[in-house]
Amino acid sequence: MEYRIEHDSMGEVKVPADKLWGAQTQRSSMNFEIGVGIETMPREIINAFAILKKAAAMTNAELKPEKMTQAKLSAIAQACDEVLEGKLEGNFPLVVWQTGSGTQSNMNMNEVLANRGNQIAGEKLLHPNDDINMSQSSNDTFPTAMHIAAVTMIEDKLIPAAEVLIDTFKRLEQENEGIVKSGRTHLQDATPITFSQEISGWRSSLERDVEMLRLAVKPLCELALGGTAVGTGLNTPKGFAELVAQNVKKLTGKDFATAGNKFHALTSKDELVFAHGAIKALACDMMKIANDVRWLASGPRDGLGEIFIPENEPGSSIMPGKVNPTQCEAVTMVAVQVMGNDVAVGMAASQGNFELNVFMPVCIYNFLQSGRLLSEAILSFNKNCAVGIVANREKMHHNLHNSLMLVTALNPYIGYENAAKTAKKAYKDNISLKEACVELGFLTAERFDEVFHPEEMV
């Protein structure tokens, strides 16, 4: 492998000749061989850094034109665009398990943009610290990148995925209107419910989750950029914080604004904890929905068998013909991962010592993994399972009329205690509720038929 020599404040370092990074990135690569090639800084953070670096250059060009010239701005902007287009893939090798401030990833971006910008300009025009990092610090750029990435994940991936499944449930509600089935509480038979009502519960849960995600986005739209090292804004020109947030807003089309208190913005990660709580709420509802679906589809002969779901692949290496609810299983595993990530996000956010949180990489790594996995799991579940749900009307009808909890309809006529006796006798003697009620002398057969209408109990 061919190398070139790069230098930083600590001296010279050999860097692979075909890479755009510099000395500080190389030092990090050598000092943190933890999860290399697997747990690298998420792509969403890389893109967020490119956006904020372009916005910072635009802002500096307006406020400090003697330092950020149009030539420099043009080279930086083009290099940032190339990052966003994926053209500089392979130049961001750093792992999550590095400095807790994310300084090395900030410098990785600074070095790549400086070297690529110099190639674009055809001269040594840009310095990673003096130009790319102008009016910034790792301490305000990394939390800014976290918020940009988090808002983008929620608005562009997670909410749209949930809305796709919501639309599927709306269709299923209409298609299954009027189908009455047995309700269940505590995994035991309960009073009747329509299948469309059951589906409406799933749909409404997701709609509420989307509402909570939208609420959680608002505080995430406040950006730390402009706080620099400790929140005082040292080395930033007047108006930088406000203008750079406006430029991020222009570049993303999202409602970003500068944070009102930069000391809070650098040290607290409460907005991410709050937002991840909304993500966890969606994961919890998806766990419940997926479990409902696989219970209802259980069988095909010895389970509930009240719905049919798509048969996507063989389910066993030894039992021929077996098909399993694999999409449900994937969703529930992802839900467990999200719940675990919530603990990590909360623990990381609690480590805001004095003027800086130093658990930021692990915090955003788990946050983004949750959003990415959950959105993809929802889309997979929708495409490969939910859209193909079909009611097994015969089984629903059988289970409904075999349920002892239909006896609840008799409460107004024979009283709770007599209704309980009727249900227990029917169960013990393996006879119908009607037979038990008549044998006990609580109602005549004719009167029973007059008052007992399960389909009207919904």
Is 316 a known active-site residue? yes
Peptide bond into 65 cis (omega under 30): no
Is the C-alpha dihedral spanning 212, 332, 150, 362 positive or negative? positive
In three-state secondary structure terms, 214 is helix
Distances (CA, A) of 203 to 144, 196, 356, 388: 34, 10, 41, 16
Instruction: Yes or no: say if 309 and 388 are a contact pair by the CB < 8 Å rule.
Output: yes
Beta bridge partners of 257: 222
Q: Do 305 and 396 meet the contact criterion of CB atoms below 8 Å apart?
A: no
The alpha-carbon radius of gyration of the chain (Å, integer) is: 30
Measure the CA angle with vertex 47, ends 44 and 52; round to 5°: 120
Tokens of 57: 């250059």
DSSP 233-268: -TT--TTHHHHHHHHHHHHH-S--EE-S-HHHHHH-
Q: Which of 101, 143, 377, 374 is closest to 272 using CA atoms?
A: 143
How far, CA to CA in Å, does 58 sit from each of 135, 142, 152, 274, 322? 12, 18, 21, 31, 60
Question: Do 29 and 225 contact (CB within 8 A), yes or no?
Answer: no
Choosing from 186, 204, 370, 397, which is the catalytic residue?
186
Token pair of 188, please? Answer: 């035991």
Q: Which residues, 6 or more positions from 444, have their beta carbon under 8 angstroms from its beta carbon?
A: 438
- Which residues are registered as beta bridge partners of 258? 223
**What one-letter code names the amino acid at 419?**
A
Of the listed 101, 137, 204, 316, which one is catalytic? 316
Name the residues annotated as catalytic.
Answer: 186, 316
